[in-house]
Structure 1
Amino acid sequence: MGSWQWNDQQRPTNTVGARATIGAVTMKDDPQAAQRPYVFVRGLDSKLHVNWWDGKAWHWSAQGAPSGRSVIEKVGAVTVQDNPTAVQRPYAFVIGDDSHLYVNWWDGSKWNWSAQGTPGGRLVREGVGVVTVQDNPNAAQRPYVFVLTDDFRLWVNWWDGAKWNWSDQGAPPSRTISRPLGVTTMRDNPNAFTRPYAFVITDDSRVWVNWWDGAKWNWSDQGAPSGQPVKKGAGVVTVQDNPNEVERPYVFIQGYDSQLYVNWWDGSKWNWSAQGTPGGRLILDSVGTVTMKDNPSAFTRPYVFVIGDDSKLYVNWWDGSKWNWAAQGTPASRVIERPGEAITVQDNPNATQRPYAFVITDDSDLWVNWWSLP
């Protein structure tokens, strides 16, 4: 039987603590290899650092910052594969102190910083998220980076296979975007191309999605839970009932009542469901959302990690028939001060996926709450 464990990942250096997380990914050296977590953080020195697993031990590496700049805000991280049998390569996107977009990326032999600039005449205000898109399952993965600009519009910085482009996604009709929520991708079947979905919160505290239908971009009003305005996002994932089914988005949010809600697609319509709160607690912040598979042929099961108003970690998870709340606690003698990231790890392609939830404690250390197998 497996069990949940807490592990102190410590800090980037003895003198530099972790200020905030930037993103987390898993790496595979080849398609049959174990997944290896990489967690990018912004240090108290306003530089990028990565905590990564080499297969036997954890390491901290200093990624630095774009030339002459400081890192001030996250956008997100993804891995990119040039083909289905290629090694995965991490890309970590950040906003610099000049309100420009930058990426720290691995080319297969070394790390590089690249300036992505800004969309026409605007400054980058906030990140929404990062996904990769494939034209078909055998094609190269292409990053799409969604951000909000200083005029409260959604833009995407995307790789077409030869060059980077900026595209103005605009804003919902007669509305202003106030806050980011998250991004995901959809496949209509296992052989289809991936379709990006970018979720935002508007000035009237409703959820909207900017999504690609295969031919054009659309804005759709997702609304809000009954009688409850949307305060902030808690994570976005796609769910599959089995590997051959269509992927279905699940969008988790925190209401102004400090409870968890989900906006989800059942295959024919969107629904809102109230997830509640962990026993007797209110939700203070979110850590991240992942989906779990017990085996490669199984359905995916969402896990949503949040921080309660007691500064402890909780998870709302689907066991296959019902939703549950579980108290994950807190690292020994520490208080969780800032949210982090959530990922799943597989020891081999046929193994069960195992959740890892990263947080930052009051001593500026990175900690992980993870599920270990016997």
Structure 2
Amino acid sequence: MGPAITPQPPRVTPGWTPEWSSQYNTWFYVNDYMKDSTWEVPTVPAQSPASERGVGGTLQNHKGAVVTGAAVLGLAAAGLLEHERHKHESQSQAGGFSQISTVSTQKVSGSGLPIVGEGNSWGGVVPQYIYKPSLISVVSWGPGRLDAFVVGTDRALYHRAHSGGGWIPSTYERLGGHCTCPPVVATGGLNNLDIYVLGGEDKLWRKWWLNAWAPAMTDYQCMSDVPLLKGSPPTIIARGLNRTDVFSLGTDRQLLHKWWDGNVWNPSLTAWQPLGGSFASPPAVVSSTPTSLVLIGLGTDGQMHHKAFWGNAWYPSISGWDAFGGPFISAPNITSWGPDRFDIFATGADHRMHHRWWSNGTWSQSWEVHGGTLGSMPVAVSWGRHRLDVFARGVDGALLHKAWEGNRWVPSQHEWESHGGSFHGAPAAVCWGPNRIDVLAVAEADGDPQHKAWSGASWTPWETLGGKALFLE
């Protein structure tokens, strides 16, 4: 059989480039400015987003106070933001982040958020529809405590916390920076927070809280000596207080890795260990034991790919990955409810949730397919053994929920319960104790960040955190 013959590209309107999909034997069309793509033949010329973007907007708290220039930003397109917009910033900064060369001694935990905007395909590499991420990041370092982070239209990071009596401070706290993706937030323990973002020069930047913001309230520590994939956030996880692993995608889409061993960053503060692969979104990571890591990510071929670290070695190899089936149209989500147990969730090409799990040393034989039609990636959390709660955005924009109660799905494998609302992107969820779940999402119509909670007996109604989100797509 001879080589495959690519047909002549069709004529398209200005600002679009046709690309051939050998997987689906058809053309898709890449926006030259936004780098998003569509299967439909464009009929309207693509326009540069430069004239549509502006710094401004407001982020209001529920009492009506205003923080200027702090509207929540929806990062729909990798590469949407331009460093040139911020040439007025101090020359002593790199894209809004003060250069800090000292090695931090703080530890982190948690997991990263995938980012690809609705309709975007990472510069045309993967033409499949990849769902929006959550526009708000949330973490808990103890009972009754929540910390939520958003990115403003001035590209700075903003923060509010919930500590029993309500959301504080009364207005959003501005933490500076020049963020080009949603933040990844983690905690290493009581009164400790770590935040990682992609920012100036497409490098990874970090700040942390341990009774005070460091390296300073609006300063960040540079964690990369090379540019990373534009708009792609990292994935982070802690295995105990003295071990942190950070993963990010390089400009060639392979996975890069660095780790904190309790004393120093390895290979160094700004260097990376390459782990191979070719990914459409940052892989998800989980650790069910102190000496293990499991990674799974959406490849540029639309398939899931998997590798693991056990003891002191990577499997199948340091640069190799095992194919894990597909096709999928969302990044995966992974969680663990106990030792030697973790569960993987993703949205398939059929727009349904697919689920696979590892238990007692073996994988489930195949992906378990759930009913319903999803409009986001699924997000799973666990507040106890044999318990899973999964959330997603429905195609009508409403928040959907189902739970695994040890021996059955509730309401059923093929049904979801709706919590109403109309939201933009995937929800964010966190548990700070048994029978407690907090869910946050950004309203589609007006951009208000919304919050509701399960307290063991019932769900609270939606409440607004205040704030107006601006979605640039």
Pairwise TM-score range, normalised by the shorter structure: 0.7 to 0.9
Q: Summarize the Cα distance change of 1:127–1:110 in structure 2 as closer, same or farther, 3 Å threshold.
A: closer
- For residues 234 and 304 of structure 2, the distance between their equivalents in structure 1, rounded to whole angstroms, comes to 13
Q: How does 1:231-246 map to 2 (within 5 A)?
A: 231-240=329-338, 246=339
Q: Determine which structure has more spread, i.e. the larger CA radius of gyration.
A: 2
Select the residue among 169, 173, 192 that pairs with 2:274. 169
Conservation of the 8 A alpha-carbon contact between 1:80 and 1:141: no
- Say if 2:387 is the partner of 1:289: no
2:105 corresponding residue in structure 1: none
| Counterpart contact for 2:296–2:306, Cα < 8 Å | yes
Please, which of 151, 161, 168 is the counterpart of residue 42 of structure 1? Answer: 151
What SS does the aligned partner of 1:339 have?
coil
**1:71 and 2:174 equivalent?**
no
Deviation at 1:12, TM superposition (A): 9.5
Could you tell me how far 1:22 is from its partner in structure 2? 5.2
Alpha-carbon deviations, 1:242-267, whole Å to 9, x = none? Answer: xxxx3312111111110100121122
157, 180, 188: which one aligns with 2:282: 180
Q: Is the 8 A contact 1:313 1:330 kept in 2?
A: yes
Quick one: which amino acid aligns to residue 336 of structure 1?
Answer: F
Once the 2 structures are TM-superposed, how far is the Cα of residue 234 of structure 1 from its aligned partner?
A: 4.4
2:388 is paired with a residue of what secondary structure?
strand
Q: Is the 8 A contact 1:146 1:198 kept in 2?
A: no
Match of 2:389 among 295, 303, 326: 303
CA displacement 1:31-54 (0-9 Å, x = unmatched):
xxx240111111233211122112
Flag the structure with higher strand content.
1
- d(CA) in 2 for partners of 1:313, 1:55: 24
Check 1:116–1:14 CA distance in 2 against 1; reply closer, same or farther (3 A cut): closer
Does 2:410 match 1:312?
no
Q: Which runs of 5+ in 2 are unaligned?
A: 1-59, 75-134, 458-473
- The Cα of 1:98 is off from its aligned counterpart by 1.9
Residues 9 and 234 of structure 1: CA distance in aligned 2, closer, same or farther (over 3 Å): farther
2:362 to 253, 266, 269: 269
* CA deviation vs aligned residue, 1:112-131 (integer Å, no higher than 9, x gap): 34323325x44344224211
RMSD: 2.5
Partner in structure 1 of residue 430 of structure 2: 343
Residues 13 and 131 of structure 1: CA distance in aligned 2, closer, same or farther (over 3 Å): farther
1:58-207 to 2 correspondence within 5 Å?
58-60=167-169, 61-66=172-177, 70-74=178-182, 76-81=184-189, 87-112=190-215, 113-119=219-225, 121-125=226-230, 126-134=232-240, 140-165=241-266, 166-172=271-277, 176-187=278-289, 193-207=290-304
Contact 1:124 1:148 in 2 (8 A): yes
In 2, the alpha carbon distance for the partners of 1:178 and 1:287 equals 17
Residue pair 1:39, 1:50 contacting (<8 A) in 2 also: yes
- Counterparts of 2:195 and 2:336, CA distance in 1: 21
CA contact 1:287–1:342 (8 Å) conserved in 2: no
Amino acid at match of 1:233: A
Per the alignment, in what secondary structure is the counterpart of residue 53 of structure 1? strand
Deviation at 1:196, TM superposition (A): 2.4
The alignment partner of 1:127 has SS state of coil
CA shift digits 1:198-255 (9 cap, x unpaired): 221112222122321111122442522xxx4021124110132xxxxx3312111111
Shift of the 132–185 alpha-carbon distance from structure 1 to 2, 3 Å rule, reads: same
TM-score by length of 2: 0.61
Q: How many residues align?
A: 316
Residues 393, 427 of structure 2: 8 Å contact kept = no
Specify the alignment match of 1:369 in structure 2: 452
TM-score (norm: length of structure 1): 0.77
How many angstroms apart in 2 are the aligned matches of 1:154 and 1:13?
40
Aligned partners of 2:185, 2:409: CA distance in 1, in Å?
29
Distance in 2 separating the partners of 1:104 and 1:163: 16
| Equivalent residue letter for 1:302 | L
- In 1, distance between residues paired with 2:65 and 2:260? 31
- Whether 1:216 and 2:304 are equivalent positions in the alignment is no
Which residue, 164, 167, 173 being the options, matches 1:55?
Answer: 164
